[in-house]
Amino acid sequence: MESTAHNYSTSIIANNTGGSSVSGVSSNNRVILNVGGVRHETYKSTLKKIPATRLSRLTEALANYDPLLNEYFFDRHPAVFAQVLNYYRTGKLHYPVDVCGPLFEEELQFWGLDSNQVRRFSF
């Protein structure tokens, strides 16, 4: 029974590194973004949804790509980036109430997004 569990975990690892498909999305399509020390994982196809932005143009040739960790590092505000990434996923960009306006706009500019697309949270 132990060898069965071991074989199972080995096959999971092999599938994760072999570019297998889960729900029609290839695992080699995944990308890790380390923003201010917080790791975010998404799909390259998600980042291509909004063209002409910093995230849509990621390549492994960029200086902020670490091939040993297989991630991109950005020394930016991680809480704002969570909203930025959510925008790529949902098409809705929300203004976090715990971040000042100028900082949020500066972060949007860095990522290549338009602050006119922002929606404020309403409680």
Residues 58-104: tens digit of each pLDDT: 998 889 999 999 999 999 999 999 999 999 999 998 888 889 999 99
Residue 95 lies in a domain: yes
| Side-chain-facing half-sphere of 89: CA atoms under 13 Å | 11
More confident residue, 120 or 94: 94
- Residue 59 belongs to some domain of the structure: yes
Does residue 90 sit within a domain? yes
Model pTM above 0.75: no
In-domain check, residue 92? yes
Residue pair 99/79 in contact by the 8 Å Cβ criterion? yes
Q: Is the pLDDT of residue 7 over 70?
A: no
89 contacts 43 by C-beta, under 8 angstroms: no
Instruction: Report the sign of the C-alpha dihedral through residues 57, 35, 41, 17, in that order.
Output: positive
DSSP state of 96: P
7-11, 47-51, 112-116: segment of lowest average pLDDT:
7-11
- What total number of domains does the chain contain? 1
For residue range 17-28, what is the model confidence (pLDDT) as tens digits? 344 444 555 567
94 within 8 A of 86, measured Cβ to Cβ: yes
Strand partners for 72:
33, 65
Residue 94 inside a domain? The answer is yes
CATH label of the domain that carries residue 115: 3.30.710.10
DSSP state letter for 34: E
Which of 94, 76, 82 has the alpha carbon at shortest distance from 37? 76
Range of the domain at 42: 24-120
Whether 3 shows a pLDDT value over 60: the answer reads: no
